[in-house]
């Protein structure tokens, strides 16, 4: 197939997937279970680590995967949403799924979708189809382990058809309340749905009410629960702008002078969670993970858009702080970065607790630029500017995220810093625009 034909077919395949978004968010596992059955149940051959939580699940997922990869295993990673390229969602040992493979797996799945509808089943959603594609791809490529990030919630998420070796719940906070519940206990009960019999549970939650919910579910399933922060402890030793070091007393071993390029104290909690998962894999499932793989895995792991210092001169920080807990982690980390003036470029979805995020972040900034995430859930995006103005900071509203960050760059003095944060939908556009602008310089 010529390059031109490949790009055409790939573009058509992605368009087919994009068209499935018309089926929206539709909870329940019936559709994905039926689809997977027709595909031969590829998820059943996978050895899975299932990672859920409100914040930190993506970072924890890629840390676990990188450690396993450094230990010599072939590791599939399924995450969402993507930043720039749909293929980021399905990665094996750091390599995105090839375009040819995307075309092939969609072609495999498509007749089954049409047959399901013809037989009276509801059409699976775009995320359900993406989940099935990932399971099919990982099974066909015979990965040793699949590290699967939960999309939304837990019990009701389409990834919850797997039987995991380890179920991970990083934490539980107030997010997606329209779907998951109006209080943290209700949300925790949904998240706890990924806890299954014959597995092990690891959580880094600090909320006693949440921990109680997880304990009850683990007890009901007859499985052990490990608490990161209680059974496992860590201590920050130092942090610069590009790297931090910490010590950790794990379940079975002590690790001194661990290095991590993912910044922020919250990433130490995520790293402690990832190490705990790897220790559980070693002790419960005889998975060979040398100490040096843990050190190298953390040292080498990358995760775009999470306290990512995109440039030192000018100093540009990107962070997907899309909810209250994310904003708290960003506010805690901002003092690490030396600067004179801080320009904050912010864009959030309307279903987030925007006022709380503004109250945390805006007082730390000297100037605000408000922009609009490319999502139907952006709502009255300018209302964010009105909230920011209440803090007495100058505010500029620019709808297009690309134009917003280019404008922000022109406002930067030599020792100033730009921080772009909020919705991942906005961050992706802004990141690409900044990369393009920096290349031109």
Cβ neighbours of residue 28 closer than 8 Å, sequence gap 6 or more: 156
Bridge partners for 367 per DSSP? 343
Burial of 302 from C-beta contacts in 10 A (0-12 / 13-18 / 19+)? exposed
Residues 331 and 256 in one domain: no
Point out the least confidently predicted range of 170-179, 231-240, 287-296: 170-179
Give the C-alpha separation, 362 to 389, whole Å. Answer: 9
What's the CATH code of the domain at 427?
3.90.190.20
**Mean pLDDT highest for which of 213-227, 375-389, 425-439?**
213-227
Which of 240, 267, 300 corresponds to the end of one domain?
A: 300
* 373-388 average pLDDT score: 86
Give the C-alpha separation, 414 to 394, whole Å. Answer: 20
Residues 335 and 231 in one domain: no
Residues 190 and 246 in one domain: yes
Contact of 324 with 94, CB cutoff 8 Å: no
**Total count of domains within the chain:** 2
What's the domain range around 143? 3-300
* E runs forming strands in 80-144: 90-92, 95-96
Task: Give a three-class secondary structure readout of 338-383.
Answer: CCCCEEEEEECCCCCCHHHHHHHHHHHCCEEEECCCCCHHHCCCCH
Which of 250, 278, 300 corresponds to the end of one domain?
A: 300
Q: What is the pLDDT of residue 178?
A: 55
Would strands 342-347 and 254-260 be described as parallel, antiparallel, or unpaired?
Answer: unpaired
392: DSSP letter: T
Does the structure show a pLDDT above 90 at 322? Answer: no
Q: Comparing C-alpha atoms, which of 118, 89, 81 is closest to residue 105?
A: 89
Which of 233, 268, 300 corresponds to the end of one domain?
A: 300
Residues 100 and 216 in one domain: yes
Q: What is the pLDDT of residue 182?
A: 60
Q: Give backbone dihedrals phi and psi of 375, rounded to 5 degrees, phi first.
A: -155, 145
Residues 282 and 369 in one domain: no
Give the C-alpha separation, 103 to 370, whole Å. Answer: 38
Residues 239 and 120 in one domain: yes
Residues 325 and 286 in one domain: no
Residues 316 and 296 in one domain: no
Q: Comparing C-alpha atoms, which of 210, 155, 219 is closest to residue 184?
A: 210
Percent of the chain with pLDDT over 70: 97
Residues 179 and 274 in one domain: yes
| Structure confidence at residue 438 as a pLDDT band (50, 70, 90) | confident
Residues 143 and 224 in one domain: yes
Residues 63 and 110 in one domain: yes
What's the CATH code of the domain at 225?
3.40.1190.10
pLDDT digits (tens, 9 = 90+) for 204-249: 999 999 999 999 999 999 999 999 999 999 999 999 999 999 999 9
Q: What is the pLDDT of residue 22?
A: 82
Give the C-alpha separation, 358 to 389, whole Å. Answer: 10
* 349-367 average pLDDT score: 88
* 384-413 average pLDDT score: 93
pLDDT, averaged across the chain: 93
Residues 183 and 114 in one domain: yes
Give the C-alpha separation, 403 to 429, whole Å. Answer: 10
Q: What is the pLDDT of residue 338?
A: 94
Point out the least confidently predicted range of 57-66, 131-140, 328-337, 421-430: 421-430
Percent of the chain with pLDDT over 90: 80
Give the C-alpha separation, 251 to 260, whole Å. Answer: 20
């Amino acid at each position: 197939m010529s390059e031109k034909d490949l790009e055409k077919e790939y573009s058509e395949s992605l368009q087919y997937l994009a068209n499935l978004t018309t089926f929206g968010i539709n909870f329940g596992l019936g559709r994905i279970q039926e689809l997977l059955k027709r595909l031969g149940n590829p998820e059943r051959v996978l050895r899975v680590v299932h990672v859920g939580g409100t914040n930190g699940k993506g970072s924890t997922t890629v840390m676990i995967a990188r450690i396993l990869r450094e230990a010599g295993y072939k590791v599939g990673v399924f995450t969402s949403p993507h930043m720039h390229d749909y293929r980021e969602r399905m990665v094996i040992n750091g390599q995105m799924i090839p375009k040819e493979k995307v075309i092939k797996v969609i072609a495999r799945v498509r007749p089954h979708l049409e047959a399901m509808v013809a037989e009276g089943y509801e059409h699976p959603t775009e995320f359900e189809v993406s989940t099935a594609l990932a399971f099919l791809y990982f099974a066909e490529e015979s990965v040793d382990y699949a590290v699967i990030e939960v999309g939304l919630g837990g019990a009701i998420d389409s990834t919850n058809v797997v039987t995991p070796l380890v179920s991970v719940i990083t934490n539980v906070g107030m997010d997606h309340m329209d779907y998951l519940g109006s209080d943290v206990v209700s949300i925790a009960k949904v998240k706890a749905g990924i806890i299954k019999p014959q597995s092990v549970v690891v959580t880094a939650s600090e909320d006693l009410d949440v921990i109680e919910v997880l304990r009850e579910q683990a007890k009901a399933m007859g499985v052990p629960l490990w608490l990161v922060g209680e059974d496992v402890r860590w201590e920050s030793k130092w942090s610069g702008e590009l790297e931090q070091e910490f010590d950790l007393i794990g379940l079975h071993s002590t690790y001194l002078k661990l290095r991590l390029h993912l910044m922020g104290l919250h990433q130490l909690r995520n790293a402690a969670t990832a190490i705990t998962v790897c220790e559980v894999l070693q002790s419960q499932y005889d998975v060979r993970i040398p100490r040096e793989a843990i050190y190298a895995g953390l040292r080498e792991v990358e995760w775009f858009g999470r306290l990512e210092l995109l440039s030192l001169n000018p100093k540009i920080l990107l962070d997907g702080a899309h909810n209250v807990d994310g904003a708290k982690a960003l506010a805690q980390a901002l003092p690490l970065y030396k600067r004179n003036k801080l320009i904050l470029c912010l864009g959030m979805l309307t279903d987030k607790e925007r006022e709380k995020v503004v109250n945390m972040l805006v007082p730390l900034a000297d100037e605000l630029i408000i922009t609009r995430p490319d999502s139907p859930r952006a709502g009255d995006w300018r209302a964010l500017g009105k909230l920011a103005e209440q803090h007495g900071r100058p505010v500029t509203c620019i709808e297009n995220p690309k134009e917003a960050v280019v404008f922000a760059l022109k406002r930067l003095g030599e020792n100033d810093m730009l921080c772009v944060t909020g919705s991942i939908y906005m961050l992706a556009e802004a990141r690409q625009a900044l990369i393009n602008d920096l290349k031109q310089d």
